[in-house]
Amino acid sequence: MKTLEQKIACLVALGEYMQGRSEAWETAKDRAVQGNQWFTAAQIELAVKNIVSNFLQQELLEQWLHLYALPTPPKLVGITMAGNIPLVGFHDFLCGYLSGHQLRLKLSSKDQILLPHLLQQLSECDAEILNQIVLTDNLRQCDAYIATGSNNTARYFEQYFGKYPHIIRRNRTSVAVLDGSETPEQLSALAEDVFLYFGLGCRNVTQLCLPKAYDFQALFQAFEPYRDYINHNKYRNNYDYYLAIYLLNKVPYLSNDAVLLVENEFPFSAVSVLHYRYYEDKMLLRAELEQNNDLQCIVGNGFVPFGTAQTPALSDFADGVDMMSFLCSL
């Protein structure tokens, strides 16, 4: 069994591999793009860059793990992974691997290429990982479960896994609070929070909270770099569908022919649609948003900085639930 220090060294080496251009790694990324039309080469590269920079650095890993007393003996933990953006389940894998537990991973059908390739690569440094971590569709008879899915699937997870120690994640999204003082640079950074990964991540901003009489002109200018999304087939299908719905139902909207801005109090919005709402008191708004369990991030001045929603740190856990503490408590 590798020591924790040895595992960290293997992860750092994996990060170096992920930044490289080996033929096998390039082929895996190409296959991932072919297997999921929502994955693009640029978005995979971005996901890889963020994982390497924010997760697979020796100093960051050592500082983070210093907070935990790792468990012994190991338990058998079943994890169902999401697949909405490339390698979105990497943090779950990382926590499980470093905790020392035996893992059974059920991959999303949308992202079945990248992580298996990286596990195989990691096995060259830690041969025991292929015994510790098994990819399977059968998660029966585990000691604990971590499951990520929609609100509907979460009900099934509760039914099947509720009697075991568990973390069950549901739909989440993110919002941004603007006050009208944002610089062009901040609005450009906000555009990244909105549009990266086509807006499919729980850390993507899907609703803007705006002061009364907000001027949208600067915002649309910041959105210009993402106008070419309309040339992406699946994105365009979403845009055309919701545009037709709004026209038929006479719903007012704003558009730059690539995204639809619609006034709506609901924080969740569809791909190609961005909701907005108005507020009068920022302090009251903050209190309301901070109590909303549907929100992963609140972006804005005084909140998560613009442009950083898609660069979570090791301690930024999905749903705000400390998965590492959960694993250490088993």
- pLDDT at residue 313 is higher than 90: yes
The domain that contains 19 carries what CATH number? 3.40.605.10
Do the domain assignments include residue 139? yes
CA atoms of 213 and 219, how far apart (whole Å): 14
The domain that contains 277 carries what CATH number? 3.40.309.10
Predicted pLDDT of residue 265: 97
Mean pLDDT of 102-107: 97
Do the domain assignments include residue 316? no
Q: Let me know whether 167 and 282 are in one domain.
A: no
Domain region containing 262: 173-300
Mean pLDDT of 97-123: 97
For residue 74, is the peptide bond before it cis, meaning its omega torsion is within 30 degrees of 0?
Answer: no
Residue 151 burial by CB count (10 A; 0-12/13-18/19+): exposed, middle or buried?
A: exposed
Do the domain assignments include residue 327? no
Q: How would residue 70 be classed by pLDDT, with cut points 50, 70 and 90?
A: confident
CA atoms of 90 and 215, how far apart (whole Å): 39
Q: Let me know whether 287 and 161 are in one domain.
A: no
94 closest CA partner among 319, 310, 313, 330: 313
Q: Let me know whether 159 and 247 are in one domain.
A: no
**Cβ atoms < 10 Å from Cβ of 108:** 17
Q: Which two tokens stand for residue 259?
A: 């995204």
Q: Let me know whether 147 and 214 are in one domain.
A: no
Q: Let me know whether 167 and 178 are in one domain.
A: no
Strand, coil or helix: 127: coil
| Residue 275, strand partner residues | 207, 262
Do the domain assignments include residue 191? yes
- pLDDT at residue 325 is higher than 80: yes
Predicted pLDDT of residue 160: 82
Predicted pLDDT of residue 252: 98
Q: Let me know whether 106 and 246 are in one domain.
A: no
pLDDT in tens, 141-192: 999 999 988 888 878 888 888 899 999 999 999 999 999 999 999 999 999 9
Q: Let me know whether 20 and 106 are in one domain.
A: yes
Mean pLDDT of 190-200: 98
Predicted pLDDT of residue 112: 96
Question: How many structural domains compose the chain?
Answer: 2
pLDDT in tens, 11-25: 999 999 999 999 999
Do the domain assignments include residue 34? yes
Q: Let me know whether 17 and 62 are in one domain.
A: yes
Q: Which two tokens stand for residue 212?
A: 């009364």
Q: Let me know whether 166 and 195 are in one domain.
A: no
229 closest CA partner among 207, 269, 200: 200
Q: Let me know whether 58 and 32 are in one domain.
A: yes
